[in-house]
Amino acid sequence: MRLLILSLIITLSSTLNAQSKWFTRSGQIKFYSSTPVEDIEAINNSVSSVLDQATGNIQFSAEIKSFVFEKALMQEHFNENYMESDEYPQAKFAGKITNMNEVDWSTPGDYEVMIEGKLTIHGETQEVKVKGTFRVVDASSLKAKAEFKVKPEDYKISIPDIVREKIAKEISVTVNMEYKPLKR
């Protein structure tokens, strides 16, 4: 009888743990454009994200004006000329982990995931599929990382011919999140 009760408690606590939501307001998104003429990099360290372990749903929201560049003029041109951040203030992603059965949220370790969803940048939404990694650290810490490419033209971001050779046709994007349990 004790063994049955102990098994039930372990199963129930494992199920409750697997159904928890995780959150961060200090996630990082970095993008990098490399051409023979110039390298451009920007980092946003105030990205919000929510992960629901029960469903595999994941969402991100990044304020465009929070991307910081090495050169202030690049940042100004990025916001005013390319991203039009007053009109399109956020980039958003809403998707789902498609291989949830391969992640053991209760066991520390690294788990490769496939995430599918909709990425909205500059008012345009595209379907994306991204490989990523979740690192279960312990019951109070979960890390996520993904790298993928974005084409400005897919999001109707106009690059003037005069600077076209300075901006890559595909921008490398790196996402790093460190989640904590969402407390209600």
Mean pLDDT per 10-residue section of the chain, whose length is 184 residues: 38 46 97 93 97 95 97 92 95 97 94 98 97 93 96 93 90 97 83
Note the pLDDT of residue 114.
98
Note the pLDDT of residue 132.
97
Note the pLDDT of residue 98.
97
Assign 3-state DSSP to the chain and report helix, strand, coil percentages, each to 5. Answer: 25, 50, 25
Nearest C-alpha neighbor of 177 from the set 23, 63, 54, 17: 23
> What's domain 21-181's architecture?
Beta Barrel (2.40)
Q: Residue 41 class from Cβ within 10 Å (0-12 exposed, 13-18 middle, 19+ buried)?
A: middle
Q: Is the CB of residue 165 less than 8 Å from the CB of residue 37?
A: yes
Task: Tell me how many degrees the CA angle 77-152-150 measures, rounded to the nearest 5.
Answer: 120
CA distance 50 to 35: 34
Note the pLDDT of residue 2.
44
- At 81, is the secondary structure helix, strand, or coil? helix
HSE-CB for 144 with a 13 A CA cutoff: 30
Note the pLDDT of residue 36.
92
Domain residue ranges in the chain = 21-181
pTM of the model as a whole: 0.85
